[in-house]
Amino acid sequence: MAEPLPAPASLDIASLRARVERRFRVYDVQSDEHVVAFFVDAPRETLEGDFDALKRELKADGLVPLLKYQGGEHAIYVLRSPTRTRRGWTINLVLFLLTVVSTTLVGSASGLFYYGAAGSLAEITQQQYYLQVFEPMNLVRGFLVFSLPLLGILGVHEFGHYYFAKKHGVDASLPFFLPVPPLLGISAIEIGTFGAFISMREPMPNRKALFDIGVAGPLAGLAIAVPVLLIGFALSAASGVTAPADGASTVTLGTPLLFDWLQAPFGLPDDVLIHPVAYAGWVGLLVTSINLLPAGQLDGGHMAAAMFGERARYTSYAAVLGLLAVGLAPAFGYPGFSGWLLFAVLIGFLGIRHPPTLDGVSGIDRKRMIVGWATFALGILCFTLVPIPG
């Protein structure tokens, strides 16, 4: 063994060693100015539970342990937690309210077109159109038929993450919703939001926690998206609103397999427009499929890192390369969607490789592996290669 380095003055190594030795046999200690490394015997049967208990104990004192297995040895590295600035929930509330406004406006415009699709919209001026979008009754309808179901899907998705973060003792923020100002008729298709996310204020403790937190969001969101779609299809069938004969003011959406399967029992003709509620469900499936890409910091990236460990970097590279290929395909005359290029760039910017968990040794059980593969299969059923055909 190498000679131990001088201990950092801010850490009491003797006290730390005593706390580590309550659960592990320590046979060597090394340190520098930032970290203390305890080389330990770690029986596989009790390793995960003992390390988790140590992590929770040290967390109260502003310390973070990392467990690694290198060169045939288990080592626990202890360092101080980074100082984090606590913010209140005001920004979360403001962003949520702005997202309610933006999605309500999109819902009002969508509902105005849907219920006036027989041709009345073509007979009014742009100014009259905007006035109708902002009419109180149209805004109420826009909130009910689009904003509410869409934000329900996104909100339940994020609170799925939040619940399991709290369950595993991981400090997490409330959801941040991302509003997008609607262009109201200028853009071919609008959503009014870039989705939502929660911020993890500390590293993931182990791969089980990483998996549970990652998988909870998509499954919770889908549990809302499916009934939203069914309600939307029922309303579409009941309304029977058809597209204008010339196809003006309509946008064809690329639909994933799950959308098509759920729609099939309603027998909707090709010329029937889907209700705004069904459109909200379509957006929910699109968001779910993007989140389940096994790359970087996406939910699918969390799951892949939990399931495959270091090998997850290969799924991340494959997902980014796939997005680039599909995004560039239209330039070469092949089916594709240039919007996927943006997501490839964002994943690359945020980091293709997933950061390690504090416990870098323990894996996940067979049951979680089965749930993971099943959830990735659901992601495929929600994915649309070309969401908005050119």
What is the per-residue pLDDT across 79-135, written as a single tens digit (0 to 9) for each? 888 766 667 889 999 999 999 999 999 999 888 878 764 445 556 667 777 888 899
- Of 98, 110, 181, give the one whose Cα is nearest residue 139: 110
Q: Which residue has the tokens 């003011």?
A: 249
Average pLDDT, the chain: 88
Half-sphere exposure of 375 (CA within 13 A, CB side): 31
Calculate the CA dihedral of residues 158, 318, 352, 355 and round it to 10 degrees: 70
Neighbouring C-beta atoms of residue 1, cutoff 10 Å: 9
Helix ranges (H only) for the chain are 13-20, 44-59, 90-115, 126-133, 136-142, 148-167, 207-239, 257-263, 276-291, 299-308, 312-328, 339-350, 366-382
**216-229 pLDDT per residue, tens:** 999 999 999 999 99
Measured in residues, the chain has a length of 390
At residue 244 the predicted structure's pLDDT band, cuts being 50, 70 and 90, is: low
Query: What gap in Å lies between CA 62 and CA 166, rounded to an integer?
Result: 18
* pTM, two decimal places: 0.89
pLDDT on residue 322: 95
Bridge partners of 64, per DSSP, are 79
pLDDT on residue 228: 98
pLDDT on residue 263: 96
pLDDT on residue 390: 64
DSSP 8-state code for residue 274: P
Amino acid occupying residue 100: V
The structural domains of the chain, ordered by start, are 13-80 (3.30.1360), 90-382 (no CATH)
**142-200 pLDDT per residue, tens:** 999 999 999 999 999 999 999 999 999 899 999 999 999 887 655 557 899 999 999 98
Q: Are 68 and 115 contacting, i.e. CB atoms less than 8 angstroms apart?
A: no
- Residue 8 pLDDT > 60: no
